[in-house]
Structure 1
Amino acid sequence: MLLAGFRAELLKQAEPEAQDIALAIELFTSGSLNTFAQPTNVNVYNRLICYDILDLGKQLLPIGMLVVLDNILNRITQNRAKGKNTFIFIVEIYLLFQHEYSANSLFTLWKRVRKYGAFCTGITQNVDDLLQSHTARTMLANSEFIVMLNQVSTDRMKLAELLNISNLQLSYITYVDAGNGLMKVGSSLVPFTDKFPLANKQNWILLLMSKRECFAK
């Protein structure tokens, strides 16, 4: 059912609560923010789907993120029934923690998807912004696998406090070249160095990683 159809059903109800909800979502069904009230022209059953929220305005961004997360959860549920794994990559994950509803939805998704045969990976350069959210800190602290590349001073200190990183281990993410960093695997912290030849086309996606990023799953 489309959002407009949902509002139409609410208007049929005599209860004042239903009328209040219908009035509250009118802007998103027939008003200027009705982007998500229309049928999509994208095949959401493709094997690879990219959700881009860059051009959503400030007012549409919260509901847009909720729509995307709900669609992802539905796809995970469908794939689980088919015995398929689902891989989710969230770039600039800190954006989802700027709004309470999307942060809570992502937290629920992060906790549940492993039981559904799905693997969720968050990527961000803005570790400081991410760790300002209590929900994000809880997610990061409970993540089994984290990759940290070169970090600025403020980010290093916050990561050290959260993940119990020693000063010696911090040296592996302090003024280091690309391809060097620190991994958290379970309760272990492992430094690494790796090089990916520019001529190797199979590694093109790894070359897009910046020198200041944090990956968690």
Structure 2
Amino acid sequence: NDRIIVVDPMGEYAPLVRRLGGQVIEIAPDSPHHISPLDLQMNINDEDSPLSMKADFLLSLCELIVGGKEGLQPIEKTVIDRCVRLVYREMALGLETAKTPLLQDLYEELLRQPEPEARRVATALELYCTGSLNLFNHPTNVDLNSRVVCIVLKGLGENLRKIAMHTTNEFVTAAVNANHAEGVATWCYFDEFHILLRDPLTASYFVAVWKMLRKKGCVPSALTQNVKDLLASREIENILDNTDFMVLLSQAQSDRAILAKQLGISEHQLSYITHSNSGEGLLFYGNVTIPFVDRFPRGEIYDLLTTRPEDLAHERTDE
């Protein structure tokens, strides 16, 4: 009954998820798939009010969009909070005619406010509502309740990538909360984790995932090939401190030195991740370290998962 969510910046998991009958959501300017950042479930029994949580999320989304060193000013925060409550008013009252608002509804509500600060925020939002980056100004049109969901984030520019990541994080949190309310665990896989940690807002979100969402039946896993980039993040120590299980495969010499210092790996243990073959490495579980060999069998699942150029070239010649 568990649910699985894969956040996939390179689109490598999509073939497997489709084969499993799951939902692949491609977030890209030319994609027909849409997730609205204003989706809200009012009926979740949680200690926090869903509307307050959504207001908090939309504040940080506006902060991301408005940008600048100072971020949002107090008056701007107050105006945004007021407008969020206005656009959700009918939903909060439980009216049958209530519709889930879109980003444009928030934009239009901001334009109605008398404060000049409201116009400043609205002008920044315009690009993402009626402008060329209106990717998130559409109703959600994909099945977010599928048991296996893969969110693909490739083909995004810097501005859109940050907003896409922030919206994806909000979706993951909402899904974990909804599943927890039903007594269901959620397995979350974050691939290319070093990319996801580049942005301070996203990095701090993952610290919260590893600390807080685990209490709600979330099993988070991060995957990366770039150890240097990963360990350069200020937040990674908090994440590693809250990680019980690790798999290390063959590492470059400079990465081995960093890992030995960070994880306290002995010279003998390091030999298992030095020039080792595919599927060989070290397993860390609590205070136990075990070398392993895993020969993944060739077959349908292997073909769906492989990203090795020689395998892909071989597939093309078979066709």
TM-score by shorter chain over 0.5:
yes
Greater radius of gyration (CA): 2
Mapped partners of 2:303, 2:105: distance in 1: 41
Residue 152 of structure 1, CA deviation:
0.7
Conservation of the 8 A alpha-carbon contact between 1:151 and 1:173 = yes
Mapped partners of 2:216, 2:158: distance in 1: 32
Could you give the per-residue CA deviations for residues 76-132 of structure 1, whole angstroms, max 9, x where no partner exists?
111111111111111111111111122122222222221111111111111111111
Structure 1 runs not aligned, ≥5 long: 211-217
Pair 1:135-2:235 in alignment: yes
Could you give the per-residue CA deviations for residues 13-44 of structure 1, whole angstroms, max 9, x where no partner exists?
33444333222222222222111121232221
Could you give the per-residue CA deviations for residues 158-210 of structure 1, whole angstroms, max 9, x where no partner exists?
111111111111111111112211112113322222323325x5x63897488
> Counterpart of 1:215?
none
Does the C-alpha gap of structure 1 residues 110 and 5 become closer, same or farther in structure 2, counting only changes over 3 Å? Answer: farther
Does the C-alpha gap of structure 1 residues 74 and 205 become closer, same or farther in structure 2, counting only changes over 3 Å? Answer: farther
Counterpart among 302, 307, 311 of residue 204 in structure 1: 302
Matches within 5 A, 1:17-32: 17-32=117-132
* One-letter amino acid of the counterpart of residue 6, structure 1: L
Matches within 5 A, 1:93-132: 93-132=193-232
* One-letter amino acid of the counterpart of residue 138, structure 1: N
Mapped partners of 1:209, 1:189: distance in 2: 28
Mapped partners of 1:43, 1:57: distance in 2: 25
SS of residue paired to 1:77:
helix
Task: Give the root-mean-square deviation of aligned CA atoms.
Answer: 2.1
Aligned length: 208
Conservation of the 8 A alpha-carbon contact between 2:210 and 2:242 = no
Conservation of the 8 A alpha-carbon contact between 2:211 and 2:242 = no
Farther off after superposition, 75-84 or 8-17: 8-17
Conservation of the 8 A alpha-carbon contact between 1:76 and 1:118 = yes
What percent of counterpart residues are identical? 38
SS of residue paired to 1:51:
strand
* One-letter amino acid of the counterpart of residue 158, structure 1: I
> Counterpart of 2:189?
89
> Counterpart of 1:171?
271
Counterpart among 166, 183, 188 of residue 66 in structure 1: 166
> Counterpart of 2:7?
none
Farther off after superposition, 167-176 or 9-18: 9-18
Using the size of structure 2 for normalisation, the TM-score is: 0.60
Higher relative contact order (CA 8 A, sep 6+): 2
> Counterpart of 2:295?
195
Mapped partners of 2:307, 2:287: distance in 1: 25
